[in-house]
Amino acid sequence: MQPSLPNRAIEWREQCLFLLDQRRLPLTVDFLRLKTPQEAFAAIKQMVVRGAPAIGITAAYAVVLSAQQHSVSNMTDSELQSLKTLITADIDYLALARPTAVNLAWALAHMQQIVDGCSAVDATGLCLALEQAAVQMQQADVIANRRMGELGAAYIKKGSAVMTHCNAGALATAGYGTALGVIRAAHAQGKLSCVFANETRPWFQGARLTAWELQQEGITTQLLADSAAASAIQQKAIEWIIVGADRVAANGDVANKIGTYALAVLARYHGKKFMVVAPDSTIDMATSSGADIEIEERAASELTELNGTAFAAPKVAAWNPVFDITPADLVDVLVTNRGVIEAPNQAKIEALMA
């Protein structure tokens, strides 16, 4: 029997950070206990935790771990300032873990503000202020996800089938999910006939994570090879393609898991609707367009090996971008916790974020 889905993939307890190791799902449910920002950096880099909101929340807790790591009792004023300098250095280090998901930079910037503005007279007060900020960030993400779920589900007609890509569910967030939050809400309202989940090579987030999440809640799901998406959109009664985002530029361009752009093109060609679901922390007003978003590339071995066993032609070169850019004019609806934008563009996003 498969293990059941934990309540959340990120837990803060015993003054340590516990992360559900998503590399081992769905066959094994295993939480890793992290005590240092260096361990959190490795967890983000090595895909123990993934999904833009979850990465941001993990980084926030990593800053708390940094404060705990460098603190000593009875610090002088000068030592307290040195502590802040050490935490800032760890914040800069954590920002290098993964470049594309803007939630990482957003969360770390928020924690840096706490460090800079904290008037605590001792290390304990600073640690507590950072811990409270991280906990509030995690709680706010769940609230935002549920809000987006309701807003997005309002666009789904009863009896609809939908398609999703990668995993934008509870595992990618503090809980509930962005794209899967909409799907959960629509299911709760009795609207969905079926969810088509793309496998999402090379890490198989759709096959391992999304299909598993949906199974836990009894949501009718069919798994697809990525290359079958076009035929499914052509032949099945799919009304919406619903995805999350790792970054939304100021003009509405969307960075998301590789393969998202192709789905948006397919949706437009076949007269289907394309929905992006992302909290306001994923909207990057400092990035003017998708052309300015750094796209992470990972090792070729992720494409040429499976669980350490090579299956591709020996020494073949491989290009392994993790994300792609979907132009704003292919997005029918952008759902955020602040509200919904139809046919997003820069003027509409600026008004939303004002």
Q: Are 335 and 151 in contact (CB under 8 A)?
A: yes
Tokens of 298: 């990972």
Across the beta sheet with 283-284, the strand order is 283-284, 247-249, 254-257, 323-326
Q: Which amino acid, 300? A: A
d(C-alpha 131, C-alpha 187), whole Å: 35
Query: Annotated catalytic, 246?
Result: yes
E strands along the chain, which residues?
Answer: 10-13, 16-20, 31-34, 160-164, 192-198, 221-224, 238-243, 247-249, 254-257, 273-277, 283-284, 305-306, 309-310, 323-326, 333-336, 339-342
- Nearest Cα to 112, choosing from 131, 98, 130, 96? 130
- Alpha carbon 204 to chain centroid distance? 15
User: How many whole angstroms separate alpha carbon 196 and alpha carbon 212?
Assistant: 13
**CB–CB of 63/111 below 8 Å?**
yes
From the list 164, 241, 235, the residue with the least C-alpha distance to 198 is 164
Catalytic position from the list 90, 141, 226, 246? 246
* Residue 301: partners with Cβ closer than 8 Å, 6 or more residues away: none
| Active site members | 246
